[in-house]
Amino acid sequence: MYQLSPHIHEKVRKSVLITGSARGGTSIFGKLLASLETVEYFFEPPTINSLFTVIDEMPDELARFLFDTYVFEDLLVGALSGRAINLRAQDDSSVRHTKTSKEIALRMEGAARKRELDTSAAKIVIKMPSFVHRLPEIYEILQINQLIVLIREPESAINSLLRRGWFSNALLQAGDIIWPNRYDGALPAPHWVPRTMLEEWENMSEPDRAALYYITQTNLSESVNATVFDYEQIIARPRALLAVVADQMGLEFGPCSKTLLNEVTVQKTTSKFDLGLLRDEFRSLVIETYERTRERRVRV
């Protein structure tokens, strides 16, 4: 079996993966982590989206080989060399949010050959929501060093999801917001829909689809060793939370950390979805999975 150099293999194993439900705080939290010294942050890389979906459909060594190649050669080397960084300030994934103009200029103007880049100090952080349901496989096969799961109380999370309209027939048919999908039925079924629910999926109401998504992305397996934070913690005590994670990772606040922390504000009004509108089975599971996973959150 082909493999990359041992130091690359070990480097990728020490990556941090942030996941959880969309609209659950992963973007806010990802930016905060990205502001720490020496962190190289990667926002929802599309190839990883597909790789995570089929991770158990290939030999473990092959999955690790492809993951290591993409994360190290494409993402990390691309970021440090300046060849693969997003400079569009209006995007959540823009490096301008988390690195200073001086740091960006050094990458754009400095040495770009791989052997001249210092990859040893970099801490790889990947933000990829919607994969809580696959964490047992990701944890076992890819052996990522640190997993962080973000949760949010269901009334606010489901309300936010429904406002986006992601679970309407029209947006599901488009297949460009939620993907990859199965195309076995009349309506595409996202990768996180359990096989036992495939026949029901196209006839579900939008709220029930959102609830099913929420359940799959909040139901954290007991077998997975993950650090859990909730959205309310991020909003209420961002500095304390970031300090906890920085200490765990052995990193310091960076020059952009203070600015980003000051941008985290408590929303004055947040509409909440009435869970009574869900089918009984989903309503119970939504509440149970949230309460059970919330018990595992880190207290700050």
Which amino acid, one-letter code, is at 65?
F
Residue 102 falls within a domain, yes or no?
yes
The total domain count for the chain is 1
| 238 preceded by a cis bond (ω within 30 of 0) | no
Which amino acid, one-letter code, is at 121?
A
Q: What does the pLDDT read at residue 2?
A: 86
Q: What does the pLDDT read at residue 266?
A: 64
Provide Rg for the chain, Cα atoms.
Answer: 19
Q: What does the pLDDT read at residue 268?
A: 57
Q: What does the pLDDT read at residue 270?
A: 66
Residue 191 falls within a domain, yes or no?
yes
Q: Do 231 and 156 form a contact (C-beta atoms < 8 A)?
A: yes
- Torsion 276-279-282-285 (CA) sign: positive
Beta strands in 145-257 (DSSP E): 146-151, 181-182, 189-190, 227-230
Q: What does the pLDDT read at residue 267?
A: 63
For residue 15, how far is the Cα from the chain centroid?
A: 13
Residue 74 sits in a domain of what CATH number? Answer: 3.40.50
> Residue 299 carries which DSSP code?
P
Residue 164 falls within a domain, yes or no?
yes
Residue 202 falls within a domain, yes or no?
yes
Q: Give the range of the structural domain holding residue 68, as residue numbers without chain letter.
A: 6-294
Torsion of CA 18, 137, 296, 260, to 10 degrees: 0
Residue 1 falls within a domain, yes or no?
no
Q: What does the pLDDT read at residue 8?
A: 94
Residue 284 falls within a domain, yes or no?
yes
Look up the pTM and report it.
0.95
Beta strands in the chain (DSSP E): 16-20, 39-43, 123-127, 146-151, 181-182, 189-190, 227-230
Residue 299 falls within a domain, yes or no?
no
Residue 18 to residue 33: CA distance in whole angstroms: 10
- Residue count of the chain: 300
**Edge to edge, what strands does the sheet with 227-230 contain?**
39-43, 123-127, 16-20, 146-151, 227-230
One pLDDT digit (tens) per residue for the chain, 300 residues: 788 999 999 999 999 999 999 999 999 999 999 999 999 999 999 999 999 999 999 999 999 999 999 999 999 999 999 999 999 999 999 999 999 999 999 888 877 677 778 899 999 999 999 999 999 999 999 999 899 999 999 999 999 999 999 999 999 999 888 999 999 989 999 999 999 999 999 999 999 999 999 999 999 999 999 999 999 999 999 999 999 999 988 999 999 999 999 999 766 556 899 999 999 999 999 999 999 999 999 987
Tokens of 160: 């936010």
Residue 268 falls within a domain, yes or no?
yes
Residue 129 to residue 179: CA distance in whole angstroms: 12
